[in-house]
Chain A
Amino acid sequence: MRRDDIAVTGMGMVTPVGVGTEASWQGLLDGRSAAATDPRLDRLDVDFTCRVPGFEPGKLLGRALASRLDSHAHLALVAAREAVADAGLATEEWDATRVGVVLGVGCNSLEQYHREFGRLNSDRAKLISPRAIVRSVPNMVPAEVALDLGARGPSLAVSTACASGTTALSIARDLLRSGSCDIVLAGGSESGTAPVTVACFQQMRTLSERTHDPGGASRPFDQDRDGFVLGEGAGILVLERAEHAAARNARVHALLAGCGNSTDAHHVTAPHPEGRGAVQALRQALDDAGLTPADVDHVNAHGTSTALNDQAEHRALRAVFGTPPPVTANKSVLGHCLGGAGGIEAAATVLSLRHQTIPPTANLDTLDPDIDLDVVHKVPRPTRIRAALSNSFGFGGQNAVVVFTAV
């Protein structure tokens, strides 16, 4: 390790396969989709999502705190508390002015706006919640995490759609490199499972409509894929400079070795057909890490299960790697957690490095004949992993790639 390497010293996850990093990793290894029908959606054409099982914010956070926050903040607070504990940090001992929080936010809290719009449109404006703004605006998620932990350095919300959580890691890295912070909690959270969110994405024709088989609906790289499945969750990493981690004898899970960011500037939602922006971000991340494509042993794909994303991502990986290393797509199991996805998949990539195992992609029965990738499926694959990438690509053509290396 070099002094200015960025170390991952803590992880927190809340996902549709469990509350906590250990439960989430086991669920990913099991490789079964968490998608299920939700009675809240019974008036919609798409009536299934991936929700966090047994998630009770009142029990985890206390009822008074839980009652004033919306879902995306519940998820973030639980993941952040786990990450700090995993890092062995005592919040009463750290220099709070040097601790930052950078979290990705995708869609704000559409559910909150939906509730308040309903009151406004039925002449009940006086019943609009005085907390509507502080529950819903994007900056409040990192602000609530900072408040909960007493972190008094910069706290920032980053919004690059489905790439938000990964972009947040890149911003956090820069805050550490510049010396602005000693510790940064970074990742993302989102709950995209409310009826208004599902209806909006469904009208864009981006969701799988496999209502007869929700568990088989998220099938990245499969020839029968027909869209993504909305999910909810949070993934947060504790990052610090290697010298800072060493000074407090912290356990280092992996290094955040490089970051790449780009924009397609091609279309509002469709990826560039050759993955132009993705290629740029991938190459930038590798250059930043001082690695060549041959050094990379695994790619945690964006892999949404839409026709266009999976094809464009495949082309980008072929362009950069020639023969890409083994790939997996966590969204097959977790659905698409939007602003939470990048943080969750970054944590999964770190866990792959730590356990030297790639979790399987669910529902891959027949690889799309136009996609030539080694997609790990059915069962986990133990393999040597020295460096691994995590890809995230957002609507808006916003792309972010991070590289993690084994310690």
Chain B
Amino acid sequence: MSTPYEKLADILVEELGQDRDDLSPSATFSEIGLDSLSLAELSVIAMDKTGVEIEDLTPESTLAEAAALLDAAASGADAGSAI
């Protein structure tokens, strides 16, 4: 069972062509070269793969924040309790 961060990293590598070596929980989407259109694409792919919708991502969000949102949406828990 992969963690929310691992699920997110897999989507970034396999679907959006990112280099896994560039990814880290503290990196922002802007730092890894994703713009707002890419984030919209990421949200749709994540919804397709996990069945949950992650909203409110910005280019300045970190990957850890996005993973927390993914986890929170999946579990229905508060984002703050994830990761």
The judgment on whether A and B are partners is yes
A residues with a Cβ closer than 8 A to B are: 58, 62-68, 126-131, 134
- Does B15 have its Cβ within 8 Å of any Cβ on chain A? yes
Q: By the criterion CB–CB under 8 Å, are B47 and A126 in contact?
A: yes
Q: By the criterion CB–CB under 8 Å, are A131 and B37 in contact?
A: yes
- Contacts of A58 on B, CB cut-off 8 Å? 17
Q: By the criterion CB–CB under 8 Å, are A67 and B16 in contact?
A: yes
Q: Shortest distance in angstroms between B58's beta carbon and chain A's nearest beta carbon?
A: 15
- Contacts of A66 on B, CB cut-off 8 Å? 17
- Does B18 have its Cβ within 8 Å of any Cβ on chain A? yes
Q: By the criterion CB–CB under 8 Å, are B44 and A64 in contact?
A: no
CA distance A121 to B6 in the complex (A): 32
- Contacts of B47 on A, CB cut-off 8 Å? 126-127
CA distance A66 to B14 in the complex (A): 12
Q: By the criterion CB–CB under 8 Å, are B41 and A129 in contact?
A: yes
- Contacts of B19 on A, CB cut-off 8 Å? 63-64
Q: By the criterion CB–CB under 8 Å, are B44 and A129 in contact?
A: yes
B residues with a Cβ closer than 8 A to A are: 15-19, 33, 37-38, 40-41, 44, 47-48, 53
Q: By the criterion CB–CB under 8 Å, are B48 and A127 in contact?
A: yes
Q: By the criterion CB–CB under 8 Å, are A68 and B38 in contact?
A: yes
Q: By the criterion CB–CB under 8 Å, are A67 and B40 in contact?
A: no
- Using a Cβ cutoff of 8 Å, how many contacts connect chains A and B? 35
CA distance A154 to B17 in the complex (A): 30
With A126-B53, A130-B37 given, can you name 13 additional A-B contacts, CB distance below 8 Å?
A63-B17, A64-B16, A64-B18, A66-B17, A67-B15, A67-B17, A68-B17, A129-B41, A129-B44, A130-B40, A130-B44, A131-B41, A134-B37
Q: Could you jot down 11 A-B contacts, CB within 8 Å?
A: A62-B17, A63-B17, A64-B18, A67-B15, A67-B17, A68-B38, A127-B44, A127-B48, A129-B44, A130-B40, A134-B37
CA distance A63 to B22 in the complex (A): 13
- Contacts of B41 on A, CB cut-off 8 Å? 68, 129-131
Closest residue on chain A to residue B38 by CB atoms: A68
CA distance A130 to B37 in the complex (A): 7
CA distance A63 to B18 in the complex (A): 7
Q: Shortest distance in angstroms between A138's beta carbon and chain B's nearest beta carbon?
A: 19
- Contacts of A68 on B, CB cut-off 8 Å? 16-17, 38, 41
Interface pairs A-B: 4 shortest CB-CB: A63-B17, A67-B17, A130-B40, A64-B17
- Contacts of B44 on A, CB cut-off 8 Å? 126-130
Q: Shortest distance in angstroms between B39's beta carbon and chain A's nearest beta carbon?
A: 9
Closest residue on chain B to residue A65 by CB atoms: B17
CA distance A65 to B19 in the complex (A): 12
CA distance A389 to B60 in the complex (A): 55
Closest residue on chain A to residue B32 by CB atoms: A64
CA distance A25 to B68 in the complex (A): 54
- In this complex, the member of B15, B33, B44 whose beta carbon has the largest number of chain A beta carbons within 10 angstroms is B44
Q: Shortest distance in angstroms between A124's beta carbon and chain B's nearest beta carbon?
A: 8
CA distance A127 to B38 in the complex (A): 14
- In this complex, the member of B15, B17, B18, B47 whose beta carbon has the largest number of chain A beta carbons within 10 angstroms is B17
CA distance A64 to B53 in the complex (A): 23
Q: Shortest distance in angstroms between B13's beta carbon and chain A's nearest beta carbon?
A: 8
CA distance A129 to B41 in the complex (A): 6
CA distance A62 to B41 in the complex (A): 18
- Contacts of A130 on B, CB cut-off 8 Å? 37, 40-41, 44
